[in-house]
Amino acid sequence: MSKRYDLIIRQGMLVCPDGVKKADVAVDDERIVEIAEEISGEAKETIDASGNYVFPGATDGHVHFNDPGRTEWETIATGSNALAAGGGVAYFDMPLNCNPCTLDAKNFNNKLAVAQRDSLVDYGFWGGLTPKNLDKLEELAECGVVGFKAFSCFSGITEFERMDDYTALVGMEKLAKLGYPLMVHCENAEIVSALTAQALANNKTTVRDYFAAHSPITEIENVSRMISYAEETGCKLIIAHVSTARAVELVTQARNRGVDVSCETIGHYLILTDDDVERMGTVAKCSPPIRDAQNQTKMWGKLFNGEFTFISSDHSPCDPKLKDGEFLKVWGGISACQTTLSSLLTHGYHERKVPLADIAKLTAQNVNEVFKIPGKGKIALGFDGDFALVDLNQEFTLQAEDLFYKHKASPYVGSTFRGNIIQTILRGKTIFKDGKVVSKPIGKHLRPLV
């Protein structure tokens, strides 16, 4: 007997964990219920995807939507719209740069209320770990955080204090017991702050002065230090936005000897170089900074080796006024959550032949597996009906007005991409189509199975 499903997507090239295949996929009651060469049943809605690729909807493991409290920078509403326009169905929001920061249950619940009202797509939240909230980790875990985030160096936000070595050790001991991962922004605080102070004192504030103050060793040293604490405590460690191939090598070596450590990288470390940043200016300032072309080539090698667990955007926008000034002094953060998938299709698949199934793992599957989010991140039976429909060969040049961010700025404005997201579907419902958001906020809170 043929069934009547909520949705059937017909004849798309499905990007499944084991490769790409032409098939139909049916969704009923928000979940994928059938995948077959030809599904005989009918549906309330049918999408003809012939000629297009169907990716699992992306999950961005690392964004700063700044809501509540810094909504003049970005909001959950605008950020989640941008994510959907880029094929995203979920994100994990960082415990800063919202205000107050997510350092206890009360502020977690404040943010949850905003997301319940305003988030177009599904969401998880990071809790923070700072010297001030070692006694709040348990309550944050009970709230349902996906993990904890800490900064080894100054975070840019005074209220979100950096994690000193004592806090790193004790925090990791506690998180190991609770069974939650810690993600660390790894840059050596003493070296970065001394070099920055010296540069400022000498009026050396150019882009190259900034790179010099955040040289590769500051990341490499701190990654190895964090690995030592993880190895000692058994805490699951994730290195945030790793920017140097040498740091990735340290992570891989540690993992090979049994340490529970993995790393995330960000699109811009694979796509832009230091010379691009010099040309583009402060819109492309981030920390750690974007490195040279030689390092970038090695980073692609690491991607081909499977050494990155997932790729995020580190979407960290600000009020444009904060990007206006001398390079060393302005806000560090890049707006990118709308372009990660298209970037990887352009520079990964088309330029370097990265398999599409690997791109799907890096943008959707792995991040949900690492954080134990059930039922999300791949095109498989029983999983959420989350899809990004992609015209793989369609080229487009990104215009500022295409961006759904609160502030229409990004280093990628003016770049030409190959691989356009034409439709995004969250749990069976179309939320973005042909350049427009077509749904009210329907996001729900994602809790890990810890």
Ligand X SMILES: NC(=O)N[C@H]1NC(=O)NC1=O
Select the residue interacting with Zn ion from 104, 264, 314, 384 (CB under 5 A): 314
Instruction: Judge whether 350 is annotated as a binding position.
Output: no
Instruction: Judge whether 185 is annotated as a binding position.
Output: yes
Within residues 180-199, the interface with Zn ion by CB under 5 A covers 185
With contacts defined by CB under 5 A, how many residues of the chain interact with Zn ion? Answer: 3
Sign of CA dihedral 200, 155, 63, 299: positive
117 residue type, one letter: R
CB of 94 to Zn ion, least distance (A): 5
Count CB atoms within 10 A of the CB of residue 20. Answer: 17
For residue 238, give the nearest of 133, 129, 318, 141 by alpha carbon.
129
The CA R_g of the chain, rounded to the nearest whole Å, is 21
Is 96 a residue that touches ligand X (CB under 6 A)? yes
Long-range contacts of 259-262 (CB under 8 A, 24+ apart): 259/227, 259/230, 259/231, 260/230, 260/234, 260/235, 260/236, 261/227, 261/230, 261/236, 261/237, 262/237, 262/238, 262/309, 262/370
Kind of pairing between the strands at 58-63 and 88-93:
parallel
Select the residue interacting with ligand X from 64, 136, 302, 323 (CB under 6 A): 64
Q: What residue number has its CB nearest to ligand X?
A: 286
What backbone phi and psi angles, to 5 degrees, belong to 35?
A: -135, 120
For ligand X, give the closer residue by CB, 5 or 151: 151
Is 313 a residue that touches ligand X (CB under 6 A)? no
Is 332 a residue that touches ligand X (CB under 6 A)? yes
For ligand X, give the closer residue by CB, 53 or 65: 65
Select the residue interacting with ligand X from 20, 157, 169, 170 (CB under 6 A): 157
For Zn ion, give the closer residue by CB, 240 or 272: 240
For ligand X, give the closer residue by CB, 93 or 384: 93
Q: Are 450 and 179 in contact (CB under 8 A)?
A: yes
CB of 94 to ligand X, least distance (A): 7
Instruction: Judge whether 132 is annotated as a binding position.
Output: no
Residue 331 DSSP symbol: P
- Which of the ranges 155-163, 191-199, 204-212, 404-412 carries the binding residues for ligand X, by CB under 6 A? 155-163
Structure tokens at 143: 């709230």
CB of 314 to Zn ion, least distance (A): 4
Beta strands in 17-109 (DSSP E): 19-28, 31-36, 42-48, 53-56, 58-63, 88-93
Is 333 a residue that touches ligand X (CB under 6 A)? yes
Q: Site residues (CB under 6 A) for ligand X?
A: 64, 96-97, 155-157, 185, 286-287, 314, 316, 332-333
Q: Site residues (CB under 5 A) for Zn ion?
A: 185, 240, 314
